[in-house]
Structure formats: C-alpha cells, structure tokens
Amino acid sequence: MAFPRSPILSCMLACLLGAWLLAGNALAQEIPTRKDSAAAQTDTIRQKFDLRVMNNLRELSQRKTIMGKLLKAILVFDRRDEEVLGLDAELIQREYERHNYKVVRRINIMTLDALGYSIHDSTRVPRSFLEKAGNSLHVKTRRHLVRNKLLFRSMETLEPLALVESERLLRQTDYLLDARIIVDERTTTEDSVDVLVITKDIFSLGGSGSYSPSSGAGRVALRELNFLGFGHQVRGSYRFNMDAPRSWETTAGYTVENIGNTYITADINYFDQNYYKESSAYLRRDFFATNTRYAGAVGASKIDERLLLPPVPEDTAQRFADVGYHRQDFWLGRSFKFKSYNLGYEPRGRLITAVRVINTNFYTKPTENFQDNVLGIASLGYSVRRYYKDRYLYGFGRTEDIPAGTLATVSYGYERGDLFDRRYFGLDLSFARYNKDFGYLYGRAGYGSFIRGGTWEQGMLELETLYFTRLYENGNWKLRHFILGRSTIGINRNPEELLSINNEDGLRGFRSGLLRGNRRVVINYEANLYTPFSLFGFRLATLAFADLAWLSYGNKSSPFKTTPFQGFGVGIRFRNEYLSFSTIQILLGYYPKTPHNENFNNLRIYESSRSYYDFEDFRFSQPGIAEFR
C-alpha cells in the first residue's frame, strides 16, 4: 500500500531510525571482552546509556503535553520478559530418555485462555478489563483437540521422541500460542509415568487490512483459526477500488485439521482475482513427525491465470496471455527407519520413497509450449530432522521451533503428452546447523530438468543460504541479524517463463511490471531490534534492511554483467502474539536504480504483513517439478 508523503511521517521515521542506530550501537558493543577494568568500564557506560534513554522517555511521558500523553499511552516501561526454561529441545529429549517405553498411566490436559495467563507462571491470571472481556469472547480449545495431537496414549508404552515431538506439534498448531509437556516426576515409577500437557490459546479471531487515502484502494482480511473451539479454520479477504481491469478481488478458504485423529487435513480454497482464479479441494497428510510412516494427498483444482509475456525494449505496458486448465493430483509416500539396538533411543534418520501422478488438461493454451499431459514421478529421499527452541526470530517472545538436519532427494519421472513425451530428473540437497552461541546456518542446492530427445529443457538450478546470528541482549532490548542469499538460474526455459525481483522474490517493497528475466541472484540483509515498548499488548520492533538483486534475460546470459538493483530502508513492526492478527509492518524503502520505460518512484512508504524470511523444514514433501518463479 502506498502512502502520500508527509513531513510528520518522515520526521517520525527519521526519529525511529536515530533511535534504532543508537540502540543498535549500544547492543553491538555486547561482545566478549577481557575481564579487566576497561571491560567493566565499557559495561557501565552501556548500562548508563540504557538507563539514560529509558529515564528520559519516562520523564517525557509524565509531562502534561501532547507528546507526554502520547508516550504514556504507547510505551510500557516496566515490561519484563518471562523466563522460559528448556529452550534446547534436544536437551529435553535427553532428559526424557529415561522414560522411554514406560506405560503412560494418566494424561492430564490443561488448556489456558488467550489473554492474561502464562504457560510458564501459574500465578498469572487476567486482571484488566480488556483481558477478561477478550476471554469472554473467545472459545477455548477443547481438550480432545489437544489429546488428538499427542503421539502417545493412556495405558500404552511411551515411544522415543513422543514427548518432544508432541510438544512441537502442539506449538505449531495455528490456534495455540505455546505448549509444554511435563512428566510428573513425583509419581513416576520404574515402569509407568503420569504426563501433564499445558497449552495456551491465541485469540483466534483476527485479520488484517490496509487502506490508501490517495487512491481509496484497500484490503480487508478476516480469519477464524479455531471455529467454535473445534480447530476448523475459516479465511476470507476482499480488495476494493483497485487500479486494475476489475476493481475488486476476493478469496476464501476452509480447513479442517486432523480428521478423526488421523492427521489428515481437508482444504477447500477459492480465489477470484484479476490475474488468477482457482477452485480447489484436497485431502492431505504430511510427514508431520519424525516417526510418521505414511503421507500423501489427493485432490483436484481448476485454475485460470494470466502469464506475463517477455518484454521487448520498446514496451511501456505489460503484455499478457491467458492459460486455463483442470488438474487432478495424487501422491503417496512411505518412510522407513533404520534399526537401532538401543531400546532407549530412536534414530532420527529416515529413508523415504514416494510416487506421484499429475493429470493436467488445458482448455486455454497461450502458446504451443503447453500440452495436455500425465506426469508420473518417483522420489527417493533421506531425511534427518531435529528441532531446537529459541525466541525473537519471527515472533516477539513466544517459543519458536528451529529445524535443523539434512534432506537429500533424487527424483525421476516421465511425462506423456498429446504432442510429445519426455523424461524428468531432479536432485535436491539441503542442510542446517544451529548453535545458541553461533546462530543458524542453512544451505540448499537443487537442480531439475526435463529431457527430450537427448536435449535438456526447462531446467533450473537453485542455490540458497540463510544465516542469522545469536540474539544479542541488553536488558529488554534485543538485536538479531539476518543474511539471505538466493540464486535461480533458468536453463533452456520457454520464453514465457520469467522471473521478477519484486517484493519477496528480490527487493522488498520493489514493484515493476516490466522488469523480467530468467536468471536471478539476490542478497538480503536485515537487522531487527526488539524494544521493550508496547501498546495494548502490541510489541514494537524496528528494522533496517539492504537488498541487492541481479537479473538477466537469455539462456546464456550472466546476471553479474549488469549493475544490481538495490533497495535500502528502515521500518517498524508491531505484533500482539496473543491475537491471530498478522504482524503489522510500515517500511520506508529507497531504490537508487529504476527500471527503464516505467514511471517508478525511488522513495516508497508501504505496509506489509508478510514475513520476508522463513525456515525450510527438513520433512520430506511430495515429489514434484521444481517451480520456476
């Protein structure tokens, strides 16, 4: 969403940038130093800086001025983060290993309402009117939903990994904020245990929205993540006053998780947008846990979309072609664990095989490169998954699961079409390592291509790496850095298959209708500073970013022969983790290099609710063709 420039808004952003730089400078000094008088003096200076900043803001908030009233309404000066124990999930697994293969006598489940309660502090209860009123409008998650997520049952033996994997699955449930599974050591015997499960809800009714006063365009999105406490999800959105062929767009979706305690999920989706329409229904079951044996999906969809055609130098407007098709999709996978002679330990590694069949029938073909076809593809993979816990990554203090491990897959397929037949080959390798002192490092390399008559076509090489640092803390101020590198190299792609560097694909906040290519390299940097300030439970963080993107057109071109497009900016981010509302981000971006033949503004203020970074889980997913986008 674009906003008109205003001196007040620019001044506010400048002040935020100054505060971010000052606080970031203070946190950057928090590095290992010699334990001598100089180090002690540096630490004292840093503490005095923080106290000086907080005391000055506290003093301003007590004045009877407009600025004082504003600060008093917005800032909470006495917020303290809850102490969260057991952030190392691997440590929890080792701690509970002595309970493996014991009989579970009782499972006690405690579900906490969304507002005012704490999963780590049993003495905390709702006190304010807003907390009590919010809980009265919220339907608490029913206990049988929590019980159905558990990988262990009463009066059955406790399998290895069951406790830690169940806790992770509960925490990753959309309508739960956090979860803890505790063995009652007071009643534990040599052959049996009692287990306590504690979960905390989020306020499941939420949404997001945006509005541009200059154009009158906007967007409203609503969702209910736990309809009537049964775990059903309802989603819908509506855009209006759009500068597009049609002034409105709408989407809707309905999801039912874990049907009949089988971990089968049903999805129904409907999209009616200017350049994309979809009606689809699927039943799916993922490799949701490390020890899951079977996974698969079956479904059908009808899709109409518009493809952007390759630009020519004289183009000043986008050119499109229509494509429409019906698709039926089915896949089934089976995992095999390796033998272990240690009854108290279950190996993490899994060998996985899967097959998939996709039937596609086009009723609108934009070019001769599209054909009706049936694609059969088989994959063999090796997966090692483990999870750690940390905080202040994508959330604002909630416990987050960090996936680490290794995934290697090889795929081979055959496509039978009404014009020609061809084979497919794909290879994908990825790994990640995590250490609370070093941070997180992820790397991935993937290649896939069709083969027709000895010629490799529609190929793609992907390389990706993500690193984030450990969390630097100074009181209630927290800083973390992210670096993401990506490259997508098209090999003998069709002319209508194009890449962009817009938004999540390259430079955040960048929008170009004509700039396209088929070879792309992107580097993104971001620093997040989490502050102790909040408004009505919405925590405040500030960020600064720098993005570089190289883009070239041609199957033998090199992206590095051109000057990269650049994006630099700062912003603020709000989130209330007790509610299901999306994260609110307001960003100011500057783009020195602009595309040719376009009316492009170098400076842009915009709103976004999407996370720019995400983890890649090491669970084996359905066999498929590498997506070129």
- CA separation, residue 584 to residues 130, 209, 571 (Å): 21, 9, 10
Report how far residue 128's alpha carbon sits from residue 414's, in angstroms, rounded to the nearest whole number.
63
Query: Is residue 258 assigned to a domain?
Result: no
Whether 132 maps to a domain, the answer reads yes
Q: Model pTM?
A: 0.76
Let me know whether 410 and 343 are in one domain.
yes
Can you give 554-608 as a three-state secondary structure string? CCCCCHHHCCCEEEEEEEEEEECCCECCCCEEEEEEECCCCCCCCCCCCEEEEEE
Cα–Cα distance list, 274 to 148, 220, 240, 320, 554 (Å): 40, 17, 12, 12, 29
Please name the residue ranges forming H helices in 456-511: none
Please indicate whether residue 12 or residue 127 has the higher confidence score (pLDDT).
127
Q: To which residue do tokens 């558990």 refer?
A: 150
Dist. CA 30–CA 50, nearest whole Å: 13
The tens digit of pLDDT for each residue in 210-268 reads: 787 878 888 899 988 888 778 899 999 999 998 888 899 999 999 998 888 889 999 99
Give the CATH number, domain containing residue 122.
Answer: 3.10.20.310
Comparison of pLDDT for 4 and 524, the residue scoring more: 524
Whether 371 and 479 map to the same domain: the answer is yes
- CA distances (Å), origin 443, targets 260, 430, 588, 612, 613: 37, 6, 30, 17, 14
Last residue of a domain, which of 201, 225, 241?
201
For residues 78 and 161, membership in a common domain is answered with no
Give phi and psi for 282, each to the nearest 5: -140, 150
DSSP for residue 228 = T
Q: Are residues 155 and 60 in the same domain?
A: no
Q: Identify which of 549, 552, 458 has the alpha carbon closest to the alpha carbon of residue 497.
A: 458
Largest CA distance in the chain: 80
Strands 603-608 and 320-337: unpaired
Task: Please give the sequence-ordered ranges of beta strands (E in DSSP) within 338-476, or none if there are none.
Answer: 349-364, 373-390, 400-417, 421-435, 439-452, 455-468, 472-474
In this structure, is residue 245 part of a structural domain? Answer: no
Evaluate whether residue 339 is within a structural domain.
yes
CA 81 to chain CA centroid, nearest Å = 23
Same domain, 61 and 133: no
* 75 shares its domain with 122: no
Q: Look at residue 54 in the predicted model and tell me its pLDDT.
A: 59
* 141-170: pLDDT as tens digits: 888 889 989 999 999 988 878 888 898 889
Flag whether 167 is in a domain: yes
**Number of folded domains in the chain?**
3
Q: Do 307 and 358 fall within a single domain?
A: yes
pLDDT the model gives residue 40? 41
- The answer to whether the CB of 114 falls within 8 A of the CB of 581 is no
**Cα–Cα distance measured from residue 599 to residue 603, given in angstroms and rounded to the nearest whole number:** 12
First to last CA, the chain: 23
Residue 321 and residue 319: Cα distance in Å, rounded? 7
What lies within 8 Å, CB to CB, of 52 at 6+ separation is none
Gap between the Cα atoms of 499 and 520, Å rounded: 7
Residue 516 is predicted with a pLDDT of 87
Same domain, 486 and 604: yes
Among the three residues 201, 218, 241, which one is the final residue of a domain in this structure? 201
Q: At what angle do helices 37-61 and 7-28 cross, to 10 degrees?
A: 150
Does residue 535 sit within a domain? yes
Residue 342, pLDDT score: 56
Among the candidates 201, 232, 250, a domain finishes at 201
Chain segment 256-274, per-residue pLDDT in tens: 988 888 899 999 999 999 8
Let me know: does 266 contact 259? Beta carbons within 8 Å. yes
Q: Specify if 40 maps to a domain.
A: no
User: What integer pLDDT is reported at residue 581 of this predicted model?
Assistant: 67
pLDDT band at 12 (very low <50, low <70, confident <90, very high): very low
Torsion of CA 339, 340, 344, 345, to 10 degrees: -90
CATH number of the domain bearing residue 367: 2.40.160
Average pLDDT, the chain: 82
Report yes or no: 321 and 306 within 8 Å, Cβ to Cβ: yes
Query: Domain check: are 75 and 188 in the same one?
Result: no
Q: CA angle at residue 228 from 225 to 234, to 5 degrees?
A: 35
Nearest CA to 307 among 327, 286, 295, 323? 323
One domain, residues 381 and 438: yes
Reference 525, options 468, 608, 571; nearest CA is: 468
Query: How many other CB atoms are found less than 10 A from the CB of residue 573?
Result: 22
**Residue appearing with tokens 């994959």:** 379
Pairwise CA distance, residues 539 & 554, whole Å: 46
Lowest average pLDDT, out of 7-11, 241-245, 513-517, 624-628, goes to: 7-11
In a domain, 154, yes or no: yes
Q: Are residues 290 and 379 in the same domain?
A: yes
CA distance 520 to 501: 8
Host domain of residue 131: 89-201
Spatial separation of the C-alpha atoms in residues 146 and 593, rounded to whole Å: 52
Question: Does residue 297 share a domain with residue 188?
Answer: no
pLDDT per position as a tens digit, 441-478: 999 999 999 999 889 999 999 999 999 999 998 888 99
